[in-house]
Amino acid sequence: MKRAIRTVFILVLFLMGGIASLTGACFAERDKGAGIVAEGLGIIRDADARRAKETAIEDALGMALDEYLAGKGGEGFVYRTLMAPRIHARGKEMIDSYELIDEARYDTVYWVKVKAFFKEGAVIRHDLDMIRVLVETDERSGQGTETPGSSLCKTGISESLSGGGLKVVEAREPLMKLWEEKAYEGSKAPAPDVDLIVLVKAQSKEKGEYGGFTAFETNADVKVLKPGSGEVVATTRVTATGERSQDKAAALDSSLLKCGKEVGRYIIDKVVQNADSIASCRVMIRGVRKRGWADKVVDALSEEEGIHKVSSRFESSELTLLDVQLDKDVMEKLPYYLEHLKTVNLKVVRESYRLIEAQTR
């Protein structure tokens, strides 16, 4: 009898374990999802095709992640264009697995197609749900000396950005040296884990005393940079007059704080919203045998409505790569533009997410 009971007990445990395994497999498959197919490119340098293939796979995974987040980033998630470089850099942390579907070598370029599967909820876990901004200010009085409230302009900027859904993070090292564009030459990004760097030089001056009350005016020169490249994406001057007060220090503080809030609103209204309205696409053209022909494609495409910038990488007589920045609402017109250029006769042979392949007719 005891032996029979023991046998039944073992059988029950075995069945429970099997059910648990099946349940775990179901959940894993559900988290894995259907996957996203994307293509990537890698330049072959020094005849190192293996490294180019790895680069192409990383590029494809980044594109897959971009498409995944654009359509499904998590509850309440809004994908912002500005976050793309940082998100791509963290892509491997979000990818559960991937399959290499196809690959090919085009002279000096390696091409791959992958199918990527993503970890559900990874956006929030890896702090990829908010634009991250580094802010540094240099705040001075009319005499050119540092003001007593030398961080109030920065406080105002931080309050505006936080209120607009952005996240302000502290710099690990002084950044005002980057005001000069040459500071980026030959160096890597000082802050790779942010999306924007905001530098502000604020100068306050007294506007005069009336009835015992004083007001200050603050002028802030603003420069917004992309981390990594150091590219200046926006510059402006913001002017704000604070509340009058019998206390000069309070009047000065009011001016700095108000100016900072105006700077923050400018970044949200102009920089962030403008970036969100612009998309990027890559064009792979086969058969453009001379650099001059590639230049003609760039010039003709740049004249089309909604095209902001076209950059060409003439890799060889077999392949030309174009990086195109354009309004999001004209993205679907890009294949038409390519097939109706006045200077070079092209035919679009394939389209995928943010990648178009064309060839000369």
Give the pLDDT confidence score for residue 88 in this predicted structure: 75
Angstrom distances, CA of residue 61 to CA of 32, 77, 92, 99, 152: 15, 20, 8, 10, 42
Q: What is the mean pLDDT of each run of 10 residues along the chain (361 residues)?
A: 46 39 33 76 88 91 82 56 76 84 89 89 67 91 56 94 89 82 54 83 89 92 87 93 92 94 93 82 88 90 93 80 90 94 91 89 86
Give the pLDDT confidence score for residue 220 in this predicted structure: 96
Asked whether residue 183 falls in the same domain as residue 196, the answer is yes
Asked whether residue 211 falls in the same domain as residue 84, the answer is no
CATH number at residue 63: 3.10.129.140
Give the pLDDT confidence score for residue 181 in this predicted structure: 66
Which alpha helices (H) appear in 190-344, and where do they start and end?
A: 248-266, 273-276, 291-302, 334-339
Asked whether residue 260 falls in the same domain as residue 138, the answer is yes
SS3 346: strand
CB atoms within 10 A of CB 219: 15
Asked whether residue 287 falls in the same domain as residue 267, the answer is no
Give the pLDDT confidence score for residue 241 in this predicted structure: 95
Asked whether residue 186 falls in the same domain as residue 234, the answer is yes
Question: Which residue segment(s) compose the domain that 285 sits in?
Answer: 278-360
Tell me whether residue 34 is exposed, middle or buried, using C-beta atoms within 10 angstroms of its C-beta: 0 to 12, 13 to 18, 19 or more.
exposed
**Within the chain, what is the greatest distance between any pair of CA atoms?**
104
Asked whether residue 321 falls in the same domain as residue 348, the answer is yes
Asked whether residue 12 falls in the same domain as residue 76, the answer is no
Asked whether residue 269 falls in the same domain as residue 283, the answer is no
Give the pLDDT confidence score for residue 136 in this predicted structure: 92
Asked whether residue 251 falls in the same domain as residue 292, the answer is no
Give the pLDDT confidence score for residue 10 in this predicted structure: 40
Give the pLDDT confidence score for residue 102 in this predicted structure: 95
Give the pLDDT confidence score for residue 245 in this predicted structure: 93
